[in-house]
A and B are shown apart, each in its own frame.
Chain A
Amino acid sequence: MRRWLTFAWIAALRFLSEGRMQTGFILGGIAIGVGVIVFMSAMLTSVQTNFTNRVLTSQPQIQLKPPDEVARPLRRDDGVVEAAIVQRPTQRILSLDQWQTVLSSMRARSDIVVATPSVSGSALAVRGDASRSIGILGMEPDDYFRIVRLPDYIIAGEPSLGTDDILVGIDLANDLGATVGDKLNITTGPGGSRILTIRGIFDLGNRGANERNTYVQLRTAQSLLNLIGGVTEIDLTVADVYAAETVAQDIGAVLPVKAESWIVTNAQFFTAIWAQTLSSLLIRSFVGLSVAFGIAAVLIVSVLQRSKDIGILRAMGSSRGKILRIFLIQGGVLGFLGSLFGSFMGGIALFAWYRLARQANGAELFPLVVEPSLFLFSALLATITGVLAGMVPALRAARLDPVEAIRG
């Protein structure tokens, strides 16, 4: 007997180690359940962290644009509407009004980390016989690359831009048969055309973006789109990415601009994340519930098997409370030990998955985010689950009539 253990602990541990088969099987069951929960949680966190990072580092968190142009119904002086049917006007490419003022007021805000102007429009990229319609985005690389981590996604060449340079996506480069150093003829409606040199090729992990997105210096885009001195948007990153929508609404209320946060522009992404989180939560809860039922079932049987022992212990002067504790401890210990094995199994499964599941080129699918708190948290949760599951058997044991138990 361990000197530092109390009566209830000694009895609980001995009862567990005596019923070796039962204890072994239920520990296996708990371990599998906890393993599944650990594996799923780590996967979910990894996937979501990875996706969120990608979304956050491949687009501004808030974009400020000129307000939509709207046509008003024509009214006479006496207020009678003359032409009530209003067609939505075409949205021209317009410069943001007073953008220098807007930019400096953005840079003055403490909840905004980076603010930088950009110009975007569409164009035609021509190389030899091939031509593709593209979007061009002109920006100031030093600031813009702090918002969109383009350098991280460069797979050939480098992310440095002169006034006659352009960065293109991998799919556009393939479509045009071009590579780093090749020249493209970029043509726009309003601004004519220019010959630009490909300085870098990027892969944003998204076919649409890899086909259409191109990046040039702010001046280059201004001249191509005939917007000398103007910008079409101001891009921002904020201190708290999840507060982006609040900040956007705040800006929209103060300034004559249209402020769009990433939370609104990626509504589908958030729905997907939410659905994923919810379904995984459901699965994990049900796994947890079945673990709890397993523990309860094993302990109920144990109470029946040990009812004479319980009677003897009661005759010796153990209170109902002490008997209750013996079985709650057993539940807790089962949960805790099971979660240790389960964490180990989940860890091994994660490691194996990380080694085996690879992209075609051998690179990792996405970085695994495995936090120690996950293991701590599942151990804690499993222990609590065990104690709760032990509640029914423990109450049953505590309520046992010693006379019946000893006679039976």
Chain B
Amino acid sequence: MADLLVLDGIRKSYNVGTPVETEVLHGIDLVMKAGEFVALMGPSGCGKSTLLNIVGLLDRPTSGHLFIDGKDTTSLAEAALTRLRGHSIGFVFQYHHLISAFTARENVIMPMLVDHGRPDAPMERRADELLDQVGLGKWRDTRATNMSGGQQQRVAIARALAMNPLLVLADEPTGNLDTASAQGVFELMRRFNLQRGTTFLVVTHNHDLAAQCDRIIDLVDGRLTGDRRIRGIDRVSRPG
């Protein structure tokens, strides 16, 4: 199976060139195959979010190379990174999941709208389809602010999948939810992973959830200290 993500000696320092310059990631080497469902674990402050932001092209590494689907992103200009991010990567965040001014359906449409410029019927159909799949078909015209945390996170997952991305990055997506909702949201992601072959990289502190992944990566103080494969991936290749 193809390497979807290759990290080669990724380092990240904050406050570069100042007396308080600190290196947070000390040379990360990592390969993720297409279709993998990977948990990223580690103590608070070890650099998980920093790593996710770099993989998600929101931030640039101080040194090292990042290949997405075989393409070296290090040399890309900002506009190209933005486009690649919009097309290839979906995000699910712990806090502030949705844009509060919009309804559930509009939130799911948003990434497609950003890409195409104008709303159209296929976008709406796709959004409704995704909302049905996350079990919120009836809630599509509800404002984000009027939904529970679990519901918002389901909409966020639908939104992350709207552009049919290669990779979904989730930074503690269940960190704010009660155990039952957390399990529900997790299963939803897992189901999309199995059905569509979308690759997931999920930050979590929850060992029960991590145990349900294909692979667990441990990050401690900016270094990878563990990489356990729990189960093999033997899935059909991603649908187009």
Contacts and interface: CB of A to CB of B under 8 A. Distances in A.
Interface of A: 1-7, 10, 14-15, 18, 308-309, 312-320, 322, 402-403, 406-407
Contacts of B132: none
Contact of B96 (A313, A402, A406): A406
B51 to A, nearest CB: 12
A403 B53 contact: yes
A309 B96 CA distance: 8
30 contacts: A1-B106, A1-B113, A1-B119, A3-B119, A6-B117, A7-B114, A7-B117, A7-B118, A10-B113, A14-B101, A14-B102, A308-B96, A312-B96, A312-B98, A313-B99, A313-B110, A313-B114, A316-B110, A316-B114, A317-B83, A317-B85, A317-B87, A317-B111, A317-B114, A317-B163, A319-B82, A320-B78, A322-B114, A403-B53, A407-B49
B179 interface: no
User: Which of B96, B99, B111, B117 neighbours the largest number of chain A CB atoms within 10 Å of its CB?
Assistant: B99
Given A309-B101, A317-B115, 15 more contacts: A4-B118, A6-B117, A6-B118, A14-B102, A308-B96, A312-B91, A312-B96, A312-B99, A314-B82, A316-B114, A317-B114, A319-B79, A320-B78, A322-B114, A403-B58
A304 to B, nearest CB: 14
The 6 closest A-B pairs by CB, nearest first: A317-B86, A18-B101, A316-B111, A308-B96, A1-B119, A14-B101
A7 B113 contact: yes
Contacts of B100: 18, 309
B49 A315 contact: no
Contacts of B78: 320
Most buried by A among B56, B85, B91, B110: B110
A10 B118 CA distance: 9
A7 B159 CA distance: 16
B120 interface: yes
Contacts of B79: 319
A319 B81 CA distance: 10
A312 B106 CA distance: 14
B67 interface: no
Interface in B145-192: 159, 163
Nearest to B169: A315
Contacts of A312: 91, 93, 96, 98-99
Nearest to B88: A317
Interface string B89-126: 00101001011111000100111011101111000000
Contacts of A18: 100-101
Contacts of A7: 113-114, 117-118
B59 interface: yes
Contacts of A15: 101
Contacts of B82: 314, 317-319
A299 to B, nearest CB: 15
A279 B220 CA distance: 70
B213 to A, nearest CB: 23
Contacts of B110: 313, 316
B79 to A, nearest CB: 6
A2 B120 CA distance: 9
A19 to B, nearest CB: 9
A317 B90 CA distance: 10
A324 to B, nearest CB: 13
B56 A315 contact: yes
A406 B93 contact: yes
Contacts of B109: 1
Nearest to A3: B119
A111 B131 CA distance: 78
Nearest to B111: A316
A3 B118 contact: yes
A311 B181 CA distance: 26
Contacts of A406: 58, 93, 96
Nearest to A7: B113
B36 to A, nearest CB: 22
Given A309-B101, A406-B93, A315 B58 contact: yes
A318 B81 CA distance: 11
Name the residue in B58, B79, B86 with the highest tally of chain A Cβ atoms < 10 Å from its Cβ. B58
B189 to A, nearest CB: 17
Given A317-B82, A319-B79, A10 B99 contact: no
A4 to B, nearest CB: 7
A70 B53 CA distance: 94
A315 B91 contact: yes
Contacts of B163: 317
Nearest to B86: A317
Contacts of B102: 14
A402 B98 CA distance: 15
Interface string B40-64: 0000000001000100101100000
Which of A6, A317, A407: most chain B Cβ within 10 A? A317
Contacts of B53: 403
B120 A3 contact: yes
B176 to A, nearest CB: 14
A160 B49 CA distance: 97
B96 to A, nearest CB: 5
B140 to A, nearest CB: 12
Nearest to A317: B86
Contacts of A319: 79, 82
Nearest to A9: B118
Interface string B192-226: 00000000000000000000000000000000000
Contacts of A315: 56, 58, 85, 91
Contacts of A320: 78
A316 B58 contact: no
A322 B113 CA distance: 12
A258 to B, nearest CB: 71
Contacts of A313: 99, 110, 114
Nearest to B143: A18
